[in-house]
């Protein structure tokens, strides 16, 4: 019989670009029936202590995680670290370097938006950020509020993407560094939302080959809001590359009614779930 434990191994708090505090995120996850939740903020682990404290008063198990921004060739990809030790010094140095890069990058985004006739973006975006990490979603909220786009989705079609105002090509961690930091911190490295990179099948296979060689162990097979055919495709990649399957909603905010904590399709039966070894 299949276990009924509900795993959601990809979520964000307001420490990165989510809107809920780590405490409120845990409360909401409990309310949604999540049994095991990974907090995976972008390039930072500042929310984990709070989330663990909040989880202690509930039956929810909190997995310490992170989502690391990586440049792989001309692609930006995201690598999840699950069950990491957030105190590990090399991991923290690496994440700090990425957040430092984000500061200059945010200034550059603002300056490019300014040239396109939109002023005050840096201050505007900062108002939505907890100050630990500044990202494009904070700018997106500013752009919507100022009436430059009708919603967040619209922003990411018209701003801050290739050939559009405010675009800054990212220079993130290398794949090798990100995987090493995660391993060093005792965690498991997982390729997040592989379908979202819009890579050709050949390129995705090349990524997974390299990722495995570096010591990566998992691939996100089930994400929020995903087509069943895509799950099948990712499941067969997981099996072909002997990678463990992970599942996570990538929840950011209750405002996005399409994505909810714990609202996920089942892991296909033939995939070995990442939690099988936990
Ligand atoms: P950054 O790491 O600063 O480049 O920002 C990336 C973040 O922007 C992602 O983690 C999402 O939260 C958000 N994002 C990117 N594309 C979209 C999109 N099409 N719709 C909504 N959010 C998006
Ligand atoms: Mn995000
Ligand atoms: Mn991501
Ligand atoms: Mn994410």
pLDDT tens by residue, 9-22:
999 999 999 999 99
Residue matched to tokens 């630990």: 132
From 43, 136, 249, 250, the mutation candidate for ligand 1 (largest count of ligand atoms within 8 A of CB) is: 136
Long-range contacts of 121-129 (CB under 8 A, 24+ apart): 121/166, 129/17
Q: List the one residue out of 135, 71, 141 whose CA is nearest residue 103.
A: 135
From 67, 137, 248, the mutation candidate for ligand 1 (largest count of ligand atoms within 8 A of CB) is: 137
Question: How far is residue 1 from each of residues 4, 5, 52, 269, 277, measured CA to CA in Å?
Answer: 9, 12, 30, 11, 18
Residue matched to tokens 């975006």: 125
- Residue nearest to ligand 1 atom 5, measured at CA: 136
Distance (Å, rounded) from C-alpha 91 to C-alpha 204? 26
**Residue 224 pLDDT grade (very low, low, confident, very high; cuts 50, 70, 90):** confident
At 193-203, the pLDDT tens digits run 999 999 999 99
Ligand 1 atom closest to Cα of residue 252:
12
Helix/strand/coil for 81: strand
Model confidence pTM above 0.95: yes
At 200-217, the pLDDT tens digits run 999 999 999 999 999 999
Q: List the one residue out of 253, 276, 269 whose CA is nearest residue 128.
A: 253
Q: Are 259 and 250 in contact (CB under 8 A)?
A: yes
From 14, 20, 41, 135, the mutation candidate for ligand 1 (largest count of ligand atoms within 8 A of CB) is: 135
At 19-76, the pLDDT tens digits run 999 999 999 999 999 999 999 999 999 999 999 999 999 999 999 999 999 999 999 9
Centre of ligand 3 from the C-alpha of residue 75, in Å? 13
Q: Are 12 and 18 in contact (CB under 8 A)?
A: yes
**Residue 43: nearest ligand to its CA?**
1
Neighbours of 200 (CB within 10 A): 9
- Residue nearest to ligand 1 atom 2, measured at CA: 135
- Residue nearest to ligand 1 atom 12, measured at CA: 137
Our measurement of the distance from residue 230's CA atom to the centroid of its chain's CA atoms, rounded to an integer in Å, reads 19
Distance (Å, rounded) from C-alpha 98 to C-alpha 101? 5
């Amino acid at each position: 019989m299949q276990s009924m434990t509900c795993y959601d191994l990809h979520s964000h708090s307001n420490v990165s670009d989510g809107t809920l505090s780590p405490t409120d995120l845990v409360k909401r996850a409990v309310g949604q029936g999540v049994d095991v939740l990974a907090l995976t903020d972008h390039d930072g682990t500042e929310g984990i202590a709070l989330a663990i404290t909040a989880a202690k008063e509930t039956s929810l198990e909190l997995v310490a995680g992170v989502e690391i921004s990586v440049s792989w060739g001309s692609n930006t990809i995201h690598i999840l670290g699950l069950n990491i030790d957030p105190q590990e010094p090399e991991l923290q140095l690496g994440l700090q370097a990425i957040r430092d890069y984000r500061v200059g990058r945010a200034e550059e985004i603002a300056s490019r938006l300014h040239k396109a006739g939109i002023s005050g973006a840096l201050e505007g975006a900062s108002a939505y950020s907890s100050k630990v990490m500044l990202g494009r979603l904070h700018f997106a909220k500013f752009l919507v509020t100022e009436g430059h786009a009708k919603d967040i989705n619209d922003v990411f079609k018209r701003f801050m993407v290739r050939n559009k105002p405010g675009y800054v090509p990212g220079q993130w961690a290398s794949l090798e560094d990100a995987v090493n930091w995660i391993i060093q911190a005792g965690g498991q490295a997982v390729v997040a939302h592989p379908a979202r990179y819009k890579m050709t099948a050949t390129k995705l296979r090349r990524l997974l080959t390299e990722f495995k060689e570096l010591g990566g162990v998992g691939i996100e097979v089930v994400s929020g809001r995903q087509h069943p055919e895509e799950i099948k495709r990712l499941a067969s990649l997981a099996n072909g590359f002997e990678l463990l399957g992970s599942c996570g909603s990538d929840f950011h905010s209750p405002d996005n009614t399409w994505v909810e904590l714990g609202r996920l399709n089942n892991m296909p039966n033939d995939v070995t779930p990442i939690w099988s070894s936990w």
